[in-house]
C-alpha cells in the first residue's frame, strides 16, 4: 500500500439525476402515446422510433439505479451508471442527428441543447470508464478508495 487514497466521484449530481429522470419521463410518455417529434418521425423508421423511446426509459431506469446504489457497492453502481449514461448518450445522439437531418439550420436551437446533452453524456461515460480503470489498478496495488459522501450514513 502506498500513496494517497484514490477518490472517485459518483453520479449523484443534480444535473445527472434530473436528466435521467427526464429521459425516463419522456420515454414513458412516448410509449403512452405522446406525439413523436416531427424530426424523429421523419428521420427514423417506426421500429427505430420504438427503440429510441425504449432507450430513453432504459437510460433513466438503469442510470438512476446506478446512482442509487449504496456507495459501499461502488463497482455495481458505476457499472449501472455507465450503462444508463451510455444509452442516454446514444438516444440523445440519435435525436440530435434526426433534428439536423430533417431541419438543418432550423435545428440549431433545439439541436444545440440536445447535442450538448449527448456530449455531456459521453463525457460522463468517459469519466466512469476512467474511474473504473483507476479502481482496477488501485485494487491490484492495494490502494485505499475514498468516495465522497453527500449524505451521512450512505456507506
Q: What letter does residue 106 receive in the DSSP assignment?
A: G
Does the residue 152 lie in any domain? no
**pLDDT at residue 150 greater than cutoff 50:** no
Does the residue 104 lie in any domain? yes
Residue whose grid cell is 420515454: 27
Does the residue 19 lie in any domain? yes
**pLDDT at residue 41 greater than cutoff 90:** yes
- Condensed to tens digits (0 to 9), the pLDDT of residues 52-67 reads 999 999 999 999 999 9
Domain that includes residue 132, residue range: 11-146
What pTM does this model have?
0.87
pLDDT grade, residue 155 (50/70/90)? very low
What is the number of domains present in the chain?
1
Whole-angstrom Cα distance, residue 105 to residue 64? Answer: 34
Does the residue 85 lie in any domain? yes
pLDDT grade, residue 48 (50/70/90)? very high
Does the residue 154 lie in any domain? no
Amino acid at each position: 500500500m502506498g500513496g494517497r487514497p484514490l477518490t472517485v466521484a459518483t453520479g449523484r449530481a443534480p444535473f445527472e439525476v434530473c436528466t435521467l429522470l427526464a429521459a425516463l419521463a419522456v420515454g414513458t410518455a412516448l410509449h403512452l402515446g405522446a406525439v413523436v417529434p416531427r424530426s424523429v418521425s421523419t428521420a427514423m423508421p417506426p421500429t427505430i422510433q420504438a427503440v429510441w423511446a425504449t432507450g430513453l426509459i432504459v437510460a433513466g431506469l438503469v442510470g438512476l439505479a446506478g446512482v442509487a446504489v449504496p456507495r459501499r457497492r461502488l463497482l455495481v453502481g458505476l457499472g449501472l451508471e455507465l450503462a444508463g449514461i451510455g444509452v442516454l448518450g446514444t438516444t440523445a445522439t440519435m435525436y440530435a442527428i434526426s433534428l439536423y437531418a430533417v431541419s438543418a439550420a432550423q435545428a440549431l436551437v433545439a439541436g444545440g441543447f440536445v447535442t450538448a446533452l449527448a456530449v455531456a453524456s459521453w463525457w460522463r461515460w468517459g469519466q466512469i470508464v476512467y474511474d473504473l480503470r483507476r479502481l482496477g489498478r488501485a485494487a491490484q496495488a492495494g490502494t485505499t478508495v475514498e468516495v465522497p459522501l453527500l449524505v451521512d450514513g450512505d456507506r
